[in-house]
Structure 1
Amino acid sequence: MYYTSMFFQYMGQYFKTKFQYRADFFMSFFSDLLAQAVNLIFILLVFNHTNYIKGWNKDEIIFIYGFFLVPFALFGAFFNIWDFNDRYIVKGEFDRILTRPIHSLFQVILEKLELESLIGAVTGLIIMIYAGSNLGLTVRWYDPIIFLIMVIGGTLVYGGVFIALASIGFWSDARTSIMPLMYNISNYGRYPINIYNPIIRFVLTWILPFAFVGVYPAAYFLRKSEWYMYSFLTPLVGIVVFSLSVVIWNVGVKKYRGAGN
């Protein structure tokens, strides 16, 4: 209850801050929509030259992209820790975090809320409905429940990977990080995994499991039975990756030397 109360208090402060600068707030919505439109246009352009890619048609790949946008939007809203190294380690703000009686990771996440990113989830649902109607997909009564579980699993995968990367800052106080590179790698999860060579498929499944954000869970709703095993592993992989990231974070906090050292 204490953490729930703190969450809503941070949310209240977030909205007060954002609505002081309404133009910036709504421009963020527009920029997110523009980025999503560019990626969708890229997919459409690819299918101007071919009807299938490794057995996947245009609407199936558009559906995967739409699904990918939902956990990606939740990740962007609640795990916006791109500048953790620079802001909290190099500039010393993590010392302030440690003076408060609440878990440090929870504080950092709430200080970096970016709820305007949730527009991506709405866009993703619209894209899924569009592609699903073209494919003639039917919705069974339990599909929304499975969808929610899959989305949470994919969000935890994303959050876990980037929390682990942020934790590197406890051992290295360099301003630069590998997060931009990892962000680019994560985009591979929005496309069918079998279009890549075996090494990339293995990495995206078991090392950096971004395939569990997009293609694997989406395959369930596309009725790709050969991928069902991976689809149902999505929540488990999400829990494992996120739990490991929290362990790495906690170990890193113990290694933190402080801004004055």
Structure 2
Amino acid sequence: MEWFYAKNDEKKGPVSGSQLRSMVVSGEVAGDDLVWCEGMGDWIPAREVRDFDTPDLGAANPAEASPPSPSPATVVTPVTRPESVSSQLSEEWFYAKNNEKKGPVSRSHLKSMVVSGEVAGVDLVWREGMKGWIPASEVREFNTPDHGGANPAEASSSSPSPANVVTPATAVEVISSLPSEPKKVPTNPKAIVSLVCGCVGMFSCCLFGIPSLAAVIFGHLAKAEIKAAPGQQTGEGMAVAGLATGYTGLAILLLALLSGFFG
């Protein structure tokens, strides 16, 4: 009798019954790995095959280990599986990252992306057969030590609760609400005017201190506006520089007038 087994998302075989039993005993094939032989209804975990728990699987001679019709003692009760192992191995997943739908990728590849952090737990994922997009952290398969199919029935048989299911409409709303790029905070225009007028006033005494006076006025207005709306505007440093240059220009003008008056 020829046996097949699934290991790390890969179908392997055929091997004889005695070979497969020795692999189970040595731990090369885990008890949760799926196995199948001709005549079985579906793939089942190796631990559910009674022959693998007995001292002798049958005989060293393959002819003795493969009778034409399996006896009831060696055939396990058929276990209903939600999907065949071949469909599990070729399962395609999609995920949403930075407002962009990506995929398809294999199940093992997506799990490795979740483990490495490339796909965050809050990122939405989906595959055919699911009701809607759900966060990657809600998929039990991605939180198990082995994702390659140790017992896929446990992961697929547990459907997410209604509170955790995200419908397609909700997924679109969540993705569209994500910011595409950081918001730029504008600079207060009065702060810019204050700095420019202050610099002009310091070096243009012929303008009778008008630019310096404007620098002082706009500098105080800019500081008041920035303080009234914290985080909405920048430019406080420019406003302070405009005030400093404005007052300096007025001081230079005052000294020039006094020297002319008493000179």
- TM-score scaled by length of structure 1: 0.26
Structure with greater proportional helix content: 1
Instruction: Flag the structure with more relative contact order, 1 or 2, with Cα contacts below 8 A and sequence separation at least 6.
Output: 1
Structure with greater proportional strand content: 2
- TM-score scaled by length of structure 2: 0.26
